[in-house]
Structure 1
């Protein structure tokens, strides 16, 4: 027992010295933070932390402790970044975000044609007073926004059955635009054709690839159908109407069937009868909606074990409800990814600001995509 008491006293003395050195180190960390602030430098320096860790592993006399000292310095680096984030107080910029103000003079854009789900979501969100322009491809909407042909664009970003729409996520990075709102609508896919078309006469079926994915269970029963991907479900309906041939059919919504004078051959062929799609409204400026309660971010990480865990644990620490996470590969770099995260929150709250600041200062790339009102309920 006397030996144990002696070991504990020895540890206490070592801890006292560690605490003194820790305080000394943190004082220097703050000096580094001030220097970075004055010179507009990022807190996170790619590769620097690994150099520090390897240097100290090499200093070990007993290499059996290599794993433990790596963990020790990883934690120490994390604490240092948190201190720098807190002292630099960069989060105040979130309070300067202007409020979204939609005008009836604003021109709106969507992908597809009249009768598309995108137009339906647009009308649900904005009403019918604004001038609307439609475009063939998702990227055409982004280009129109870039060239000031439209004020806002609306695009599908996620389906409850088939998941995220990758192209839209990639375009958000490419063009650097923001999410200023969202809308969700129920999706009921129908098999459409001309008046005399039957299941027996159909050879070619047109739809957006998502339409095929969302109706895959129904389509398994008709292996003779040739599935032809098209720009949009409503565009597919328009084409079938123009072809006016009983060998053609489209998978699209009921509104498209009425606009293009097609009959519903088979109603609601979606795999998920509660299928819905979430749309985002994009703009060139970061603007917040009134009563905003949802935040979207995108960031990339250094390719190191445990990095994602270290960042995501802050959502739990600050009691933040993460709604969605999706990864997309970065362009030109193997095995590196952008992570898109949606979570409930208010950027006027300290917890949300601290979590975002830490992620921003620990990431190679970070963008606040939007702060807007959650609209995921579909009636």
Structure 2
């Protein structure tokens, strides 16, 4: 009699869940892989202020009773995951036993793949056993740590999916995912793939916007567009050593956090108007992304943007202005809306795991070779 995993891989239906560095909530997709990558349903669930604040606090070293708090936060996170799963199943009129697996990334609270003593780790809060119990579906989680164990960065993992979804023979394409952190995939004409975290995406912008307007993000970049970038502050932020490092490389809130910004403001813009700081942060994201494209984009003539940043009209306009030789557009133009790409990537990685296929690219993460990613929690 086939076991749960053997039964699961008979179905082409998978669910992918993603809660990223932006800490705004969960995006989920129901995907049919029988003919390419077809997203059947998309659902989302925002975080309440208390959970968002706790996840942000747990992303900062120190604090009392962290292990207990982290466990409770993981359980709360997974209940949000389960809510999104139920939305997907209901909208798609699909039973749990028809879904092969859920790819559940978890919430990154530490990402330090290369420490000074040559060791490293990446830590995502998750409770995959609880998720499997709540949903009655096999769960694939812990998708980064095997790559780190093999000497890799454990991030970004989406370039392999970008290649499968957007790669074209004989043509070089660039895919820029602007979530809390931005990452760039360079899909070469020969099938080669380079990918890395280019620097901040929405995280600094969103945090500043929430602090000064009470809104979780700058809708369309309208607030930033009404201000003026501060040249000295922008130059200082663009001098951040991480931006000049060679790939493979990855980053997160471990580097680009509120205290990092506060230090730059103290030194270069202590009396600046909040709107001008927002304009500067938006320009910082656009400029750091554009610099990565110019440095590593080769002969590509197209930049596809996904993630929440693709919905920031002002940011997209600044990218296009800084990259006049490229056609800058959304991944929606290639059949996958920007808020569905990353969740679909983790559904794809879950499928790779169940099929016993590697999910990482050594050319991207720097791992010693291809590895099967993920731990499986049968339904």
TM-score, normalised on structure 1? 0.25
Structure with greater contact order relative to length (CA < 8 Å, sep ≥ 6): 2
